[in-house]
Amino acid sequence: MLANYGYKDGSGEYFVTIDTDKCTSCPHHGCIDGCPEHIYEMITDDYDDNVSAVRRDVRNTLKYLCAACKPTTGRGVLPCMAACTPGAITHSW
Amino acid sequence: MITAGIDVGAKTIKVVLLDGGKILAKTSVLAGFETEQSVEEAYKEALAKAGIERSAVGKVGATGAGRKAVAFAQTVVTEVSADAQGAVFLHPSARTVIDVGAEEGRGIKTNADGKVVDFAVNEKCAAGAGAFTESMARALEVTLAQFGDISLKSNKSIPMNAQCTVFAESEVVSLIHSNTSKEDIARAVHDAIASRISAMVRRVGLEQDVILVGGVAYNIGFLDSIKRTLGIENVVVPQDPEYVGALGAAVVAGAAGN
Amino acid sequence: MAEFWRWKEYNWKDPDKDWKTAKMITAGIDVGSVSSQAVIATDGELYAYSSMRTGSNSPDSARKALEWALQDTGMKQENIQYVVGTGYGRVNVPFANKAITEIACHARGANFMAGNSVRTILDMGGQDCKAIHCDEKGKVTNFLMNDKCAAGTGRGMEVIADLLAVPIEQVGELSFNVPEEPEPVSSTCVVFAKSEAMGLLKDGWTKSKVLAAYCLAMAKRVSELLERIGVEKEFFITGGIAKNAGVVKRLEQVIGISAVQSKYDSQLAGALGAALFGQALLQKEKAAGKVA
């Protein structure tokens, strides 16, 4: 399942997508501690899979929370994506 | 040489007449349906205020979203460039320019010459612009000036959950119903928009001095919140902060003539 | 503030079914921000339901919705073997055995209501918009939910209808009262779209023309969200938006796919999906010998 967390408003589209099929195969879930803003948490989803998800209370502020990892120039690899070994995380912006 | 800077914004048209290092006149008119006509009106008013003839102006620079409406401009610059030039002209040690207007917010990093190093813009969403505070002040039934004042009287941080201006209006109404004081609501509103603007400024990298321009710079509640969210003591607000873009356009027009 | 989509409170039961002969009785309760629904399913089939306004208290709303669905059936709450709560207030359904997100419940409900060839589901409510892609079993394969921004929600439509002083239920019909389709309103943000609409009125546009321009803007906006999850046939619409032809017809044109129709009320998708989830979960527990 592709779980898209985030939003679209007039200024743009801000979605963090987690591929739960890849996520379930991961033994250590590095994203949880890998994100400096701690936006991820482990949940048991509706189909009883233990997967990472973007915390409900931060889903509508991702543009601002992720800003620190996304400087306008010199943006490197995002820490959450680097920590996610199965490559389950993508950002839309 | 006398130069003119014309900033054609979403709501107002601003004109600055500059003679070398000296500002001769500033005028502002509401943008009407016929933008070119409003530009003409604003320009004539500025010339009359300065007591000079049209022919005395050597160069004209235009900026703002509607800058193409200034047919007689020799120089056309983006709002970002104009902001940086205007800010450094007024405050030479400015390195970060924050411009919050009615419909847009910008974070700009500039060098000592007023050249843009980096910038981030929030546009097309009212939550990151002055329109957000205007709506919330209306919901609280206070003027924008009162809104800033009462915000300073609060020392309590209450979170606002809604990120959208439309949803935030309802949240403010329910906060009023739950007997939250207007002071605390005002501060919550200013903290909310300041945190959005701060995030944008961090994307370009915060470097002091920080100068705040645009119409929202008049709002002392926002000024207090932005200092807190950026974690700095000193944020410079120039006199007539909404004219900085027009001033920058006049500066650029003059430089282009040399 | 005017109310978004007007709808009636009502309840229904299948007169041809006898619940006493059923092996499994489950219920789904969908406590939304505006309305709440309760569905009772017997052996995986729709038996009874109710739809009513959500009160200020979620547990109360859940209880009342279920009581109303039970009315005149002779069934009592203790006859229900498994209850699933869903919707905004899902964690506040005190008698629920489990809470499941509205995303999963809508997909399961749509699969039942419009058939297992449904792949794309749009649920547009008063304060949010959900786009879901699912497989032939009604299992979610891709989803997004937008409740951050009022554009593309019923609330956005409400702001424009209020500005024009047009009752919300007349928006769809009026929006077709134009000689030709105008360009859409260009601003996404509802605050800016409202200013734009005021400008259009000053320019002499009729209310109908402004509504047409806004309905089209909304359709485009929603289609962009659908594109993120991938639009695939069949396409099914649930939630209040299903009742606004002004947006639905234009959306169908923009994405080039017509929405499938269902004989069931589109508002039931969440609660029905929850009741069906309950059926599957009960079956599992029975198989594991946890319940009789």
The whole-number pLDDT of residue C32 equals 87
Taking CA atoms, B85 is separated from B19, B116, B202, C127, C214, in Å, by 16, 8, 21, 43, 39
Task: Kindly give the interhelix angle for B244-257 and B79-90, rounded to the nearest 10 degrees.
Answer: 90
Please answer whether residues C38 and C276 qualify as being in contact, where contact means their C-beta atoms are separated by less than 8 angstroms. Answer: no
The whole-number pLDDT of residue C35 equals 86
Q: Which residues of B41-78 are buried (b: 16+ CB within 10 A; e: fewer)?
A: bbbeebbeebebeeeebebbbbbbbbbebbeebebbbb
Residues of chain C numbered 164-223 and touching chain B (CB < 8 Å): 187-192, 202-203
The single residue listed with the structure tokens 């900085």 is: B244
Is A48 in CB contact (< 8 Å) with chain C?
Answer: no
Phi, psi of A91 (to 5 degrees): -115, 140
Is A46 in CB contact (< 8 Å) with chain C?
Answer: yes
Q: Do A8 and C143 touch (CB under 8 A)?
A: no
Average pLDDT (A12-35) is: 97
Give the tokens for residue A86: 């199965």
CA distance B10 to B129: 12
Please answer whether residues B12 and B26 qualify as being in contact, where contact means their C-beta atoms are separated by less than 8 angstroms. Answer: no
Please answer whether residues C93 and C64 qualify as being in contact, where contact means their C-beta atoms are separated by less than 8 angstroms. Answer: no
| First-last CA distance in chain A | 20
Q: How confident is the model at residue B87 (pLDDT cuts 50, 70, 90)?
A: very high
Identify any residues that bridge with A42 across adjacent strands, giving them in sequence order. Answer: A52
Average pLDDT (C161-171) is: 94
Q: How confident is the model at residue C3 (pLDDT cuts 50, 70, 90)?
A: very low
Q: Residue B237 CA to chain centroid, in angstroms?
A: 11
Q: How confident is the model at residue C1 (pLDDT cuts 50, 70, 90)?
A: very low
Cα–Cα nearest to B107, from B198, B10, B190, B11: B198
The whole-number pLDDT of residue C6 equals 53
Identify any residues that bridge with B210 across adjacent strands, giving them in sequence order. Answer: B96, B235
List chain B residues with CB under 8 Å of A63: 199
Average pLDDT (B83-108) is: 97
Q: B62's torsion region: left (phi>0), alpha (psi -120 to 50) or beta? A: beta
Give the tokens for residue C137: 């079993």
Asked if residue A7 has pLDDT above 60, the reply is yes
Probe site for chain A from B163, B165, B229 (most A CB atoms < 10 A)? B163
Give the tokens for residue A42: 């482990």
Q: How confident is the model at residue C266 (pLDDT cuts 50, 70, 90)?
A: confident
Average pLDDT (C171-188) is: 97
Identify any residues that bridge with B211 across adjacent strands, giving them in sequence order. Answer: B97, B236
The whole-number pLDDT of residue C4 equals 44
The whole-number pLDDT of residue B118 equals 97
Q: Do B126 and C159 touch (CB under 8 A)?
A: no
Q: B205's torsion region: left (phi>0), alpha (psi -120 to 50) or beta? A: left
Q: Do A46 and C224 touch (CB under 8 A)?
A: no
Q: Do B202 and A72 touch (CB under 8 A)?
A: no
In this structure, are strands B104-110 and B96-100 parallel, antiparallel, or unpaired? Answer: antiparallel
Please answer whether residues C179 and C139 qualify as being in contact, where contact means their C-beta atoms are separated by less than 8 angstroms. Answer: no
CA distance A58 to A63: 10
Q: Which of A7, A11, A73 sits opposite B123 (nearest CB)?
A: A11
The whole-number pLDDT of residue C92 equals 83
Q: Which of C127, C189, C203 sits opposite B125 (nearest CB)?
A: C189
Identify any residues that bridge with C48 across adjacent strands, giving them in sequence order. Answer: C13, C40
For residue range C104-146, what is the model confidence (pLDDT) as tens digits? 999 999 999 999 999 999 998 888 999 999 999 999 999 999 9
Q: How confident is the model at residue C292 (pLDDT cuts 50, 70, 90)?
A: low
The whole-number pLDDT of residue C124 equals 87
List chain C residues with CB under 8 Å of B126: 189, 191-192
What mean pLDDT value characterizes chain B? 96
Is C76 in CB contact (< 8 Å) with chain B?
Answer: no
What mean pLDDT value characterizes chain A? 96
**For the ranges B28-32, B191-195, C204-208, which has the lowest average pLDDT?**
B28-32
Average pLDDT (A54-82) is: 96
Asked if residue B258 has pLDDT above 70, the reply is no
Residue B99 half-sphere exposure, CB side, CA atoms within 13 Å?
35
